Amino acid sequence: MLAAIKYNLSHLTQFDGRDARQTFWYYVLFLVVMQFGVGIIAAIPLYIDMFTGAFQAAQAGMDEQQMQAMMMANMGDQLRTQVWISAGIGVVISALLAASFVRRLHDAGFTGWIAIIPIATYFFSLGYNIVNLDNMLALMEKAMSATNPQEAFAIQGQMASTSLISWVGILVVIGFGVLKSQAGPNKYGDAPVSF
């Protein structure tokens, strides 16, 4: 596993050649764990700040309505920050994955241009979420103040529909990533060594 990670990190700009399934998936696992870890570390100060504000409001004697309004405003600020942090992490992860995915496509006998699909869907989803952040925050506030579960679920459905686009790219990576290697050399190079 470490050899696969080291190999991919040393070939970040090499889009030619082939990567075996095992090499690719060990590297993807590394990237997912890294993205999760960095996201958690980045979120800790934001949540500490949010809960500190809530505790201070409770100690100051705010009623529930005032506390909820203050927490929603604070959550909006935190969400804006989190979106930008997530965007930065996502761009870095996409850049780290690009060449490896192209080589994996080559190994299965496909053109590397297919890698544009997950990259394009990710950036579309990212841009859409950034542009519509205020609308999403308004929907979140509306969902939190909904009086019945059906209304809250309908509002959540409105928010979730745009995130489905980013799943197209993830499904493309998974679908092409699990395909068998072509036996022997193909037009993209010799059979890869599995790490």
Q: Which residue has the higher pLDDT, 161 or 131?
A: 131
Instruction: Choose between 94 and 143: higher pLDDT.
Output: 94
pLDDT digits (tens, 9 = 90+) for 73-130: 777 777 788 888 888 998 999 999 999 999 999 999 999 999 999 999 989 988 888 8
Global pTM?
0.80
What are the angstrom distances between the C-alpha of 167 and each of 65, 77, 108, 137, 139?
Answer: 37, 26, 22, 22, 21
Give the Cα-Cα-Cα angle 183, 186, 187 (nearest 5 degrees): 170
Which pLDDT value is given to residue 158? 67
What is the rounded radius of gyration, in angstroms, for the C-alpha atoms of the chain?
Answer: 22
More confident residue, 36 or 82: 36
Beta bridge partners of 186: 189
Residue 144 confidence (pLDDT)? 66
How many Cβ atoms from other residues are within 10 Å of residue 21's Cβ? 17
Considering the chain, what is the average pLDDT of its residues? 85
d(CA 36, CA 42): 10
Expressed in angstroms, the distance from the first to the final Cα of the chain is 7
Whether residue 66 is predicted with pLDDT greater than 70 in this model: the reply is: yes
- The position carrying tokens 């075996």 is 20
pLDDT, residue 85, reads 87
Position 194, amino acid: S
pLDDT at 23 over 80: yes
Count H helices, E strands: the chain?
Answer: 7, 0
Give the model's pLDDT for residue 104: 95
Give φ, ψ of 80 to 5 degrees: -60, -45
The stretch 141-148 carries a mean pLDDT of: 69
